[in-house]
Amino acid sequence: MSDLIEVSSVNDEVYERLRQRITLGAIPPGKKISIRTLAASFGVSTMPVREALRKLQAEGFIRFERRSVTVNELSVEEVKQIFAIRRQLEVLAAGWSLERITNDDIGVLEEILETMANPNIDVKEWRKLNKLFHLRFYECSKSSHLLELIKNVWDKVEPYMTIYSSTVADFQEAQVQHREILAIIRQRDLPLLVNKITDHLNYTCDVVSKALSKPE
């Protein structure tokens, strides 16, 4: 078996790493990107970086300007629109997931929340587990297509969760809401779950929107 890395593999790896940097906020919205600097940091030529940037442009993450590449920056209205899309998709996923969730699935969700409750947890780790909690529940829908749509929309606002985590004094309110969501899942009460997920997303959207609206 050959150990040589195919060009396509390099392109995919560069794309995945760059996309992750953008969605996690390591390269923040509004930041200009140097193709040569990125290529040097990845240890590759500029070609796979350019290919990755073209894909990211098609997905709406970056834009090419005359002499630079910039990470897209969402307006307050665009953030609100994306959260509205999330609400529609996640309400649908909640209904399908509630029909299929098992006690073992609920146990996994409980374990995630227990880890998130650690008062000394790192902010990045909390954000990672927060995303895992929601997506792990939606995986119970057994719909890979719906889950893919949710992940794609989630990634659009993920860079702005840095704003959320730096704005709130702590994660206590979010944790209370997560606990309420899990309790309702146990009850298998779909109307109540829809209301709670809607409230939870509205709360997060409101925190981010207010932070973005503040003058620098």
Considering the domain architecture, whether residues 66 and 80 belong to the same structural domain is answered as no
- Asked if residue 106 is part of any domain, the answer here is yes
Using alpha carbons, list the distances in angstroms from residue 45 to 37, 38, 40: 10, 9, 8
- Asked if residue 1 is part of any domain, the answer here is no
Using alpha carbons, list the distances in angstroms from residue 71 to 10, 38, 111, 119: 22, 13, 35, 33
User: Which of 17-26, 73-82, 88-97, 207-216 is the least confident region?
Assistant: 207-216
Is residue 17 helix, strand or coil? helix
Considering the domain architecture, whether residues 94 and 155 belong to the same structural domain is answered as yes
- Mean pLDDT to the nearest integer, 149-171: 79
Kindly tell me if the per-residue pLDDT of 66 is higher than 80.
no
Which residue matches tokens 């929107």? 209
- Asked if residue 168 is part of any domain, the answer here is yes
- Asked if residue 86 is part of any domain, the answer here is yes
Predicted TM-score of the model (pTM): 0.82
The confidence band for 1, taking pLDDT boundaries of 50, 70 and 90, is: very low
Considering the domain architecture, whether residues 149 and 58 belong to the same structural domain is answered as no
The total number of structural domains that make up the chain: 2
Considering the domain architecture, whether residues 87 and 63 belong to the same structural domain is answered as no
Q: Which two tokens stand for residue 128?
A: 């990672």
The confidence band for 3, taking pLDDT boundaries of 50, 70 and 90, is: low
Considering the domain architecture, whether residues 145 and 199 belong to the same structural domain is answered as yes
- CATH number at 153 reads 1.20.120.530
Considering the domain architecture, whether residues 35 and 115 belong to the same structural domain is answered as no
Considering the domain architecture, whether residues 188 and 100 belong to the same structural domain is answered as yes
Considering the domain architecture, whether residues 42 and 127 belong to the same structural domain is answered as no
The confidence band for 170, taking pLDDT boundaries of 50, 70 and 90, is: low
Considering the domain architecture, whether residues 123 and 51 belong to the same structural domain is answered as no
Considering the domain architecture, whether residues 34 and 93 belong to the same structural domain is answered as no
C-alpha atoms less than 13 angstroms from C-alpha of 129 in its C-beta half-sphere: 21
Nearest-angstrom CA–CA distance, 127 and 117: 12
Name the helix (H) or strand (E) containing 120.
none
Q: What is the pLDDT of residue 47?
A: 92
How many CB atoms lie under 10 A from the CB of residue 150? 22
Q: Which two tokens stand for residue 57?
A: 């442009």
Kindly tell me if the per-residue pLDDT of 180 is higher than 70.
yes
The domain of 13 spans 7-71
Considering the domain architecture, whether residues 96 and 202 belong to the same structural domain is answered as yes
C-alpha atoms less than 13 angstroms from C-alpha of 138 in its C-beta half-sphere: 23
- Asked if residue 149 is part of any domain, the answer here is yes
Q: What is the pLDDT of residue 84?
A: 96
Q: How many residues in the chain?
A: 216
Kindly tell me if the per-residue pLDDT of 104 is higher than 50.
yes
- Asked if residue 92 is part of any domain, the answer here is yes
- What is the distance, to the nearest Å, from the Cα of residue 59 to the centroid of all Cα atoms in its chain? 14
